[in-house]
Amino acid sequence: MRVYSQLERRLLNEYQQGLPLSPTPFAEIARKLGVYETTVIETLRRLETEGLISRVGAVFRPNRVGASTLAAMAVPADDLERVAAIVNAFTEVNHNYEREHRYNLWFVVVAADATRLGEVLDAIENRCGYPLLDLPLEQEFFIDLGFDLQWT
Protein backbone atom coordinates (compact mmCIF):
# COMPACT_ATOMS: atom_id res chain seq x y z
CA MET A 1 0.00 0.00 0.00
CA ARG A 2 1.34 3.41 -0.97
CA VAL A 3 2.03 5.83 1.87
CA TYR A 4 1.36 9.49 1.04
CA SER A 5 3.58 12.26 2.39
CA GLN A 6 2.01 15.14 4.29
CA LEU A 7 2.64 17.40 1.27
CA GLU A 8 0.96 14.94 -1.11
CA ARG A 9 -2.02 14.64 1.22
CA ARG A 10 -2.43 18.40 1.45
CA LEU A 11 -2.07 18.91 -2.31
CA LEU A 12 -4.58 16.15 -3.08
CA ASN A 13 -7.10 17.26 -0.50
CA GLU A 14 -6.82 21.04 -0.26
CA TYR A 15 -6.33 21.91 -3.92
CA GLN A 16 -9.10 19.93 -5.59
CA GLN A 17 -10.72 23.36 -5.72
CA GLY A 18 -9.53 26.88 -5.23
CA LEU A 19 -6.42 26.84 -7.38
CA PRO A 20 -5.11 30.39 -7.00
CA LEU A 21 -6.06 32.61 -9.92
CA SER A 22 -2.62 34.06 -10.40
CA PRO A 23 0.26 34.16 -12.89
CA THR A 24 2.16 31.97 -10.37
CA PRO A 25 -0.40 29.66 -8.72
CA PHE A 26 2.17 27.06 -7.69
CA ALA A 27 4.29 29.69 -5.95
CA GLU A 28 1.23 30.78 -3.97
CA ILE A 29 0.43 27.18 -3.04
CA ALA A 30 4.05 26.66 -2.01
CA ARG A 31 3.97 29.72 0.26
CA LYS A 32 0.80 28.45 1.96
CA LEU A 33 2.30 24.99 2.43
CA GLY A 34 5.74 26.21 3.51
CA VAL A 35 7.70 24.57 0.68
CA TYR A 36 9.43 25.63 -2.54
CA GLU A 37 7.48 26.16 -5.75
CA THR A 38 9.63 23.54 -7.49
CA THR A 39 8.69 21.05 -4.76
CA VAL A 40 4.98 21.60 -5.45
CA ILE A 41 5.46 21.25 -9.22
CA GLU A 42 7.66 18.14 -8.90
CA THR A 43 5.22 16.52 -6.46
CA LEU A 44 2.26 17.15 -8.78
CA ARG A 45 4.21 15.78 -11.76
CA ARG A 46 5.07 12.64 -9.78
CA LEU A 47 1.42 12.16 -8.77
CA GLU A 48 0.42 12.53 -12.43
CA THR A 49 3.11 10.09 -13.60
CA GLU A 50 1.85 7.58 -11.02
CA GLY A 51 -1.69 8.01 -12.36
CA LEU A 52 -3.05 9.47 -9.11
CA ILE A 53 -4.12 12.71 -10.78
CA SER A 54 -4.89 13.38 -14.41
CA ARG A 55 -4.60 17.15 -14.64
CA VAL A 56 -4.16 20.35 -12.67
CA GLY A 57 -5.92 23.43 -13.96
CA ALA A 58 -9.01 25.53 -14.09
CA VAL A 59 -12.42 24.10 -14.86
CA PHE A 60 -14.81 26.47 -16.59
CA ARG A 61 -18.57 26.30 -16.67
CA PRO A 62 -19.71 24.48 -19.82
CA ASN A 63 -19.79 26.54 -23.01
CA ARG A 64 -18.59 29.74 -21.32
CA VAL A 65 -15.20 29.42 -22.98
CA GLY A 66 -15.34 27.55 -26.27
CA ALA A 67 -17.75 24.68 -26.88
CA SER A 68 -18.20 21.40 -25.06
CA THR A 69 -20.31 18.26 -24.97
CA LEU A 70 -20.73 14.98 -23.18
CA ALA A 71 -20.31 11.97 -25.45
CA ALA A 72 -20.86 8.26 -25.05
CA MET A 73 -19.96 5.12 -26.96
CA ALA A 74 -21.08 1.51 -26.75
CA VAL A 75 -17.82 -0.44 -26.82
CA PRO A 76 -17.40 -4.21 -26.47
CA ALA A 77 -15.68 -5.00 -23.15
CA ASP A 78 -12.73 -6.66 -24.89
CA ASP A 79 -12.04 -3.47 -26.89
CA LEU A 80 -12.68 -0.92 -24.14
CA GLU A 81 -9.05 -0.40 -23.13
CA ARG A 82 -7.95 0.27 -26.73
CA VAL A 83 -10.81 2.69 -27.39
CA ALA A 84 -10.32 4.52 -24.08
CA ALA A 85 -6.64 5.03 -24.96
CA ILE A 86 -7.61 6.55 -28.32
CA VAL A 87 -10.16 8.87 -26.68
CA ASN A 88 -7.65 9.89 -23.99
CA ALA A 89 -5.07 10.81 -26.64
CA PHE A 90 -7.20 13.77 -27.75
CA THR A 91 -6.15 16.91 -25.88
CA GLU A 92 -9.74 18.14 -26.16
CA VAL A 93 -10.98 15.28 -23.96
CA ASN A 94 -11.40 16.63 -20.44
CA HIS A 95 -12.04 13.25 -18.82
CA ASN A 96 -13.58 9.89 -19.58
CA TYR A 97 -14.95 7.05 -17.54
CA GLU A 98 -16.51 3.63 -17.83
CA ARG A 99 -20.17 3.12 -16.91
CA GLU A 100 -22.22 -0.01 -16.39
CA HIS A 101 -24.57 0.53 -19.32
CA ARG A 102 -24.84 -0.37 -22.97
CA TYR A 103 -23.14 2.98 -23.55
CA ASN A 104 -20.17 2.11 -21.36
CA LEU A 105 -17.58 4.78 -22.28
CA TRP A 106 -18.48 8.39 -21.45
CA PHE A 107 -16.28 11.44 -21.97
CA VAL A 108 -16.36 15.24 -22.07
CA VAL A 109 -14.92 17.06 -25.07
CA VAL A 110 -14.01 20.77 -24.95
CA ALA A 111 -12.89 22.70 -28.02
CA ALA A 112 -12.28 26.30 -29.10
CA ASP A 113 -15.59 26.49 -30.98
CA ALA A 114 -18.48 24.40 -32.31
CA THR A 115 -16.69 23.70 -35.59
CA ARG A 116 -13.62 22.27 -33.87
CA LEU A 117 -15.84 20.32 -31.46
CA GLY A 118 -17.55 18.63 -34.40
CA GLU A 119 -14.19 17.83 -35.99
CA VAL A 120 -12.93 16.21 -32.79
CA LEU A 121 -16.10 14.15 -32.33
CA ASP A 122 -15.87 12.96 -35.95
CA ALA A 123 -12.18 12.08 -35.53
CA ILE A 124 -12.84 10.13 -32.31
CA GLU A 125 -15.66 8.20 -33.96
CA ASN A 126 -13.56 7.43 -37.04
CA ARG A 127 -10.45 6.34 -35.11
CA CYS A 128 -12.38 4.23 -32.62
CA GLY A 129 -14.65 2.59 -35.17
CA TYR A 130 -17.83 2.89 -33.10
CA PRO A 131 -20.75 5.32 -33.39
CA LEU A 132 -20.61 8.18 -30.94
CA LEU A 133 -23.60 9.60 -29.07
CA ASP A 134 -23.34 13.41 -28.70
CA LEU A 135 -25.17 14.64 -25.58
CA PRO A 136 -24.94 18.46 -25.50
CA LEU A 137 -25.87 20.29 -22.33
CA GLU A 138 -29.54 21.22 -22.15
CA GLN A 139 -29.91 22.14 -18.48
CA GLU A 140 -27.02 23.08 -16.20
CA PHE A 141 -26.60 21.68 -12.69
CA PHE A 142 -23.76 22.40 -10.29
CA ILE A 143 -22.12 19.32 -8.84
CA ASP A 144 -19.29 19.87 -6.37
CA LEU A 145 -16.68 17.30 -7.32
CA GLY A 146 -14.38 17.99 -4.40
CA PHE A 147 -14.03 15.13 -1.94
CA ASP A 148 -12.67 15.20 1.59
CA LEU A 149 -10.06 12.47 1.34
CA GLN A 150 -9.84 10.29 4.41
CA TRP A 151 -6.32 9.13 5.21
CA THR A 152 -6.03 5.98 7.29
pLDDT in tens, 26-72: 999 999 999 999 999 999 999 999 988 877 877 666 666 788 999 99
Domain contains 29: yes
- pLDDT tens across 99-112, in order? 999 999 999 999 99
- pLDDT tens across 109-128, in order? 999 999 999 999 999 999 99
Domain shared by 124 and 93, yes or no: yes
CA separation for the pair 144, 84 (Å, rounded): 25
Q: How large is the average pLDDT for residues 77-83?
A: 96
Where in the sequence is the domain holding 15, given as residue range(s)? 6-49
C-alpha closest to that of 13 among 124, 151, 133: 151
0.85 exceeded by pTM:
no
Domain contains 141: no
Question: Looking at residue 133, what is its pLDDT?
Answer: 96
Residues for the chain: how many in total?
152
CATH number, residue 131: 3.30.70.3460
Question: Strand, helix or coil at 76?
Answer: coil
Domain shared by 74 and 127, yes or no: yes
Q: How large is the average pLDDT for residues 1-19?
A: 88
The number of distinct structural domains making up the chain is 2
DSSP string for residues in 61-106: PTTTSSEEEEEEE---GGGHHHHHHHHHT-TTEEEEEE-SSSS-EE
Domain contains 90: yes
